[in-house]
Amino acid sequence: MGELTFSHRFVPGERAQAQPLLLLHGTGGDETDLVPLGRMVAPGAPLLSPRGKVLENGMPRFFRRLAEGVFDEADVRARAHELADFIEAARAHYGIATPVALGYSNGANIAAAVMLLRPDALAGGILLRAMTPLANPPAEQGLADKRVLIVSGVRDPIAPSANAARLKAMLEAAGAQVGHKVVPSGHELSQGDVTLAQQWLQAPAAVS
Ligand code: MLT
């Protein structure tokens, strides 16, 4: 069994058979941040929530960036593989199924990178305020049958919806079925995100 190499929180959930969620926080967050959101969108589901290992001025992230919106892609790749290995080890340790990622901002970006680089690691993804994490992802069809929901904020200067639209095209090129919604918000999350995530988890095909 692999080692659990990330500080993390695991919430077994009252519905142990429910689809588990992998919670991935934004810059400056930690493993406790998205637990309330996870409980809201998937009541009773097992929640696995790692803390990003990269520190930017003391703020945890999941990969290094050179400037806002400019990512260190070698680090993105290495960290995506490291996180995928952790997911595999945590699945064996806690006895859970392949999780769906619920990521916000930097957490959504690493979730997208994991999906593109290690398509078997996640069952799908809810990517809130996501951007394209890689300029040239592998040209594989590894995401066939996987579903992804991207939610952008119409006034988001950090992760513009045009950039998220490129991520949608990238994931679709890898075979995923991707819905992209734009909510009347900025980079911050809103009730609209919670509602869309709930609806998508219940009936992904209905939210596209
Ligand atoms: C990033 O990954 O850098 C995000 O998209 C922006 C942020 O985390 O602030």
- pLDDT tens-digit map of 72-106: 999 999 999 999 999 999 999 999 999 999 999 99
- Residue 33: active-site member: no
Measure the CA dihedral 168/49/11/116, to 10°.
Answer: 40
Report d(CA 198, CA 167) in Å as an integer.
22
- Cα(26) to centroid of ligand 1, in Å? 7
- Cα(162) to centroid of ligand 1, in Å? 15
- pLDDT tens-digit map of 4-48: 999 999 999 999 889 999 999 999 999 999 999 999 999 999 999
- Closest Cα to atom 1, ligand 1: which residue? 106
Query: CB–CB of 186/104 below 8 Å?
Result: no
What ranges do the domains of the chain cover? Answer: 8-207
- Residue 187: active-site member: yes
CATH, domain range 8-207: 3.40.50.1820
* pLDDT at residue 207 is higher than 90: no
Report d(CA 130, CA 84) in Å as an integer.
18
- Residue 156: active-site member: yes
pLDDT bracket for residue 204 (50, 70, 90): confident
Residue-level pLDDT at 46? 98
Percent of the chain whose predicted confidence (pLDDT) is above 70: 100
DSSP-based three-state secondary structure for 152: strand
Please state the atom number of ligand 1 nearest to the C-alpha of residue 26. 8
Q: How high is the mean pLDDT of the chain?
A: 96
Report d(CA 175, CA 206) in Å as an integer.
19
pTM over 0.85: yes
Please state the atom number of ligand 1 nearest to the C-alpha of residue 129. 5
Q: Which residue has the tokens 């209905």?
A: 206
